[in-house]
Amino acid sequence: MFKKILIANRGEIACRVIKTARRMGIKTVAVYSDADARAPFVQMADEAVHIGPSPAAQSYLIADKIIAACKQTGAEAVHPGYGFLSERTSFAEALAAENIAFIGPPVNAIAAMGDKIESKKLAKAAGVNVVPGFVGEIEDTEHAVRISDEIGYPVMMKASAGGGGKGMRLAYTEKDVREGFEAVKREGLNSFGDDRVFIEKFILNPRHIEIQILGDKHGNILYLNERECSIQRRHQKVVEEAPSPFVTPKMRKAMGEQCVALSRAVGYYSAGTVELIVSGADPSGESFYFLEMNTRLQVEHPVTEAITGIDLVEQMIRVAYGEKLAFTQDDVKIDGWAIENRVYAEDPYRGFLPSTGRLIRYQPPVDGWEDDGAENGRRGVDGVRVDDGVYEGGEVSMFYDPMIAKLITWGATRDEAADKQVEALDAFEIEGLGHNIDFVSAIMQHPRFRSGNLTTGFIAEEYPEGFHGAATSDELKRTLAAIAGFLATARADRARRIDDQLGGRLRPPSDWAVKIDDVTYQVELSEDEVSVDGAVIGLAMEYTPGDRMVHAEVDGKPLSVKVDLFRAGFKLTTRGAIHTVQVLEARLAGLTRHMIEKIPPDLSKYLICPMPGLLVALHVREGDAVEAGQPLAVVEAMKMENILRAEKSGKIKAVNAKAGESLAVDAIILELE
């Protein structure tokens, strides 16, 4: 077995590989940029080599620096993780030339499957169902329009070398193609160094199913069941689960065998994933089509590990060393259900805008990387696993992917795994930047998600007006009112004891008027119980004023609530929603009707930059007339282009920025008369 391997990646996947290597007795080498000098993966590795400035193009994407680090440390093999150089044939070839093992598939397989255009041709030749589309090279926008008209709308435009949701645009009309084609080319060039684009038919009511492949160098290729990855935003996966609630045993076998046949046709070995699009409108489940093959480990691989008990990273290392797979297709089972949510640095309350910055507080529900045995490594602690690569006080920078962590839960049933997600998300503490914890918690609780009726349009269909918090039951609101009364009493008691604000002889109030969403609850506390509107609630909790989190039991069931203070009450966050809770002594509650309401200013005449980013293009000048919905500017953030449109019709009064400028969040780009 290898004695030392280098991980040519960063963040949580570098930590993930190091953990398995450590368990196998293999020494590890990390490589890091300026931005990652204090990152957890650098601390975890046995050795670390600095490879350059923060931008990936000057560090993680330079193969020569990776090879030099191998020579410097004596690393015998390289695990590429995902992204960066993981699917670059030139990198695998350069390693081979230096007699350094590549922990991944053979070069010819990367070349065949890594190019989305060529892979579709190969799949079609192998008898695999492919989505109707144009698989040649597209000359320009006019050519793209003609192709789209021939295929029939809607169509999907994709960068040939794309991945991770970058370089993709859905077009319902010719106008969409004209607006989006050049942006897809630019994103492909900026992110992958390849501006080729292909266009294919967009399948209506689609489900995104993928098959995990694992093969060795001796001709053994297996499929390790499927993953459902239908819940996506901007073609970026948000929720993944295994198995799929849609796939039947017959369908699983048909998909798996077809994907194995395709893998065998290109001489594949190592871990890989064949992605399929399935028509949810076909109840037989037989309408599935090849999308692409990812010749690397997937971000969502932990859910497969949880239900199969197979450590995919370990198998990749063993295959690269030349070992045979120690199990057969008949040994691959499905044990329980696993769900993964990606915790991103983005603000769902502001249109999912990227949110870079410092993690002032970061406390996951369980420790991510304690080496507590193979079983816990696959399923975590009590069915909760966190894969992360950040730390409290660290920064989520603009240079890399905005993912903070992956939360994986395992249960005997799908509902049990989803319930564990909700509880663990409530206990996740992140402060300092926006995050999507409330959003993914809302998805986990959504009746449609629980029913298993999923499509890639789930988010757009269920949140057409954006995300404003999960629906909250009356029962939960009453519970929050009880908790708010408890918090207010503790706060008042602290004031009495420390500052004598209530007078040394006075007792803190125990009767409160608690207002949540325009409903006022009467909360009364005694030494041994709390009641809301006269009904006793079984509430047990501990709280010290200043605590950011309350862990309570409500009628014997756990509930975690994040607590933020303000003068007249609290902001309580739980179960995917933020509640502004006003708490007043019961005897003072009637005075609120005399308060003056503060109306926020109208900002609709300004085009405001919604995130830190680069102003790529400005489509208007001072004096131009614009219509509502018209594209005004393009801002690039985290390698994604965002089109900013006019909220209303009007005339441009002033332009305050120029293309090429770096803008701060809330910077005013232009003003309407």
Known catalytic residues are: 292
Residue 486 near residue 529, CB atoms below 8 Å: no
Cβ count within 10 A of residue 369: 19
**Bridge partners, residue 32, by sequence:** 50
Cβ neighbours of residue 596 under 8 Å, at least 6 residues apart? none
* Residue for token pair 């909760």: 384
C-alpha count within 13 angstroms, C-beta hemisphere, residue 360: 6
Tell the burial category of 179 from Cβ atoms under 10 Å away from its Cβ (0-12, 13-18, 19+).
middle
Distance, CA of 626 to CA of 383 (rounded, Å): 54
Exposure string for 443-477, b = 16+ CB within 10 A, e = fewer: bbbbeebeeeebbbbbbeeebeeebebbebeeebb
C-alpha count within 13 angstroms, C-beta hemisphere, residue 169: 29
Q: Tokens representing 398?
A: 């603009």
Exposure string for 634-648, b = 16+ CB within 10 A, e = fewer: bbbbbbbbbebebee
Distance, CA of 258 to CA of 289 (rounded, Å): 11
Distance, CA of 316 to CA of 216 (rounded, Å): 9
* Residue for token pair 């004596």: 74
Distance, CA of 316 to CA of 313 (rounded, Å): 5
* Residue for token pair 């369908």: 251
For β-strands 47-52 and 133-134, DSSP reports them as unpaired
Phi-psi domain of 126 (left: phi exceeds 0; alpha: psi -120 through 50; beta: other): alpha
- Listing DSSP states for 32-89 in one string gives EEGGGTT-HHHHHSSEEEEEE-SSGGGTTT-HHHHHHHHHHHT--EEE--SSTTTT-H
Distance, CA of 488 to CA of 479 (rounded, Å): 14
Exposure string for 587-616, b = 16+ CB within 10 A, e = fewer: eebeeeeeeeeeeeeeeeebbebbbbbebb
What are the two backbone dihedrals, phi and then psi, of residue 628, each rounded to the nearest 5 degrees?
Answer: -60, 130
Q: Tell me the residue length of the chain.
A: 673
**Minimal CA–CA distance to 297: which of 319, 277, 278?**
319
Helices 301-308 & 312-321 angle (0-180, nearest 10):
90
